[in-house]
Amino acid sequence: MLLEDIYKEFLFDLEIKNYSIRTIKGYRNNNQAFFSKAMDDAKLADEIIKLQFWIIHYEKIGYRFALPC
C-alpha cells in the first residue's frame, strides 16, 4: 500500500536525521492513531453510501419511509 510505504520512509528519514528514539516513538504513535481513526471514518463512509443506495432503491420501487416526529 502506498500510504504504508510513505509512512515507513518517513520513519526512516527521522532515523537518518538522528532524531531521538523518544521523538520517533511519538511520531509513530501519533501517526498510527491518525491512520486508525481515518480507517474507521472510511469504513463509516462506506456504510453510509451503502445505506443511501438502499434508500434510493426502495424509494424507486415505491416504498415510503416514515419520518420520525
For the CA atoms of 24, 27, 32, 33, what is the dihedral angle to 10 degrees?
140
Domain that holds residue 55: 2-60
In a domain? residue 67: no
In a domain? residue 27: yes
In a domain? residue 8: yes
Considering the entire predicted model, what is its pTM?
Answer: 0.61
In a domain? residue 65: no
Total count of domains within the chain: 1
Give residue 69's pLDDT band: very low, low, confident or very high (50, 70, 90). low
In a domain? residue 48: yes
In a domain? residue 50: yes
pLDDT, tens only, 2-51: 888 999 999 999 999 999 999 999 999 999 999 899 888 988 888 989 88
In a domain? residue 68: no
Distance of alpha carbon 28 from alpha carbon 18, whole angstroms: 15
For residues 62 and 52, the answer to whether their CB atoms sit within 8 Å is: no
pLDDT, tens only, 44-54: 888 989 888 88
